Amino acid sequence: MALNTVSDIINEVLVRNNRTTTDTFITDQMLEDWIRQANKYCTAFKKWPLSEIRDKTTTWAGTEEVPYSSFGVNFKADSIRILQIDGKRLEKTAFEKYQNFREDRPDDNRRIFSDFQRTLFINPNSDISGTIAAFGQYQPALDPTDSTATTIFSDFDEEGNEGIVEKMTEFLKEREHLPDEAILYNQKTDATLIKLYEKIQAEQYKYQSGRDSEGMWRRFNITGGGFRDDIWNRDQF
């Protein structure tokens, strides 16, 4: 059985636990609350690539403080990792360093920003303006009253929806006053999500930092000549 929609997930919970939609022990409202809570738990369990997002709904014209509420998506706290204004990248730094920078160099136009209490702090002297492109992590919402609604795991990584089923079963076991079984399903939820995350990480092995990770200069061997990358060749002997 596919685990794609709200209806699929709720039906799977009922079938696995030998319950029906007419069971008065479990109401529709309970199931809706459980799937909402389970979705929140599972989507926040890891920094999933599935919940990464770019927002370009606001512009910047020199205001130092830009609250998270200015964006069109619900970014998680401290999750905006990359910030571009008019296509120009800004450097993210620790808030204390940002404060020191603003105090020590109040007229510097360095493109720099930081993050504090769900507010971005952008150097107001930066020599740019225009559309803000914010790249970060958002908290996916789920409308449990929409039987056709899907989660971030649907279609591509349905193992995550398996975790939602297990988390909802944990809630059911708590209602049945079976604490040991509830703990077991909590553990199963975490194990399912960890396994999925490990699979995603395994697919990221090809990511490379590129030559610019060493800065703009390549190391040069003064005594032997040539660049460091040219000194050792695995097939030279």
pLDDT by residue, tens only, the chain of 237 residues: 689 999 999 999 999 999 987 888 999 999 999 999 999 999 999 999 999 999 999 999 999 999 999 999 999 999 999 999 999 999 999 999 999 999 999 999 999 999 999 999 999 999 999 999 999 999 899 999 999 999 999 988 999 999 999 999 999 999 999 999 999 999 999 999 999 999 998 887 667 665 555 555 555 555 555 545 554 445 544
- Whether residue 218 is contained in a domain is answered as no
- Whether residue 106 is contained in a domain is answered as yes
Q: What is the pLDDT of residue 237?
A: 45
- Whether residue 222 is contained in a domain is answered as no
* Percent of the chain that is helix, strand, coil (3-state, to 5): 40, 20, 40
pTM: 0.79
Residues 115 and 178 placed together within one structural domain of the fold: no
Residues 81 and 93 placed together within one structural domain of the fold: yes
Residues 122 and 163 placed together within one structural domain of the fold: no
Residues 72 and 121 placed together within one structural domain of the fold: yes
- Whether residue 229 is contained in a domain is answered as no
Residues 97 and 41 placed together within one structural domain of the fold: no
Q: Using an 8 Å Cβ cutoff, are 38 and 167 in contact?
A: yes
- Whether residue 16 is contained in a domain is answered as yes
Q: Which helix (H) or strand (E) holds 59?
A: strand 52-60
Q: What is the pLDDT of residue 150?
A: 97
Residues 57 and 127 placed together within one structural domain of the fold: yes
Query: Would you state the structure tokens that stand for residue 45, as one six-digit string?
Result: 């369990």
Residues 127 and 94 placed together within one structural domain of the fold: yes
Q: What is the pLDDT of residue 99?
A: 97
Which residue, 137, 165, 181, sits at the end of a domain?
137
Please count the structural domains in the chain. 2
Q: What is the pLDDT of residue 211?
A: 56
Residues 55 and 43 placed together within one structural domain of the fold: no
- Whether residue 72 is contained in a domain is answered as yes
- Domain that residue 91 falls in: 51-137
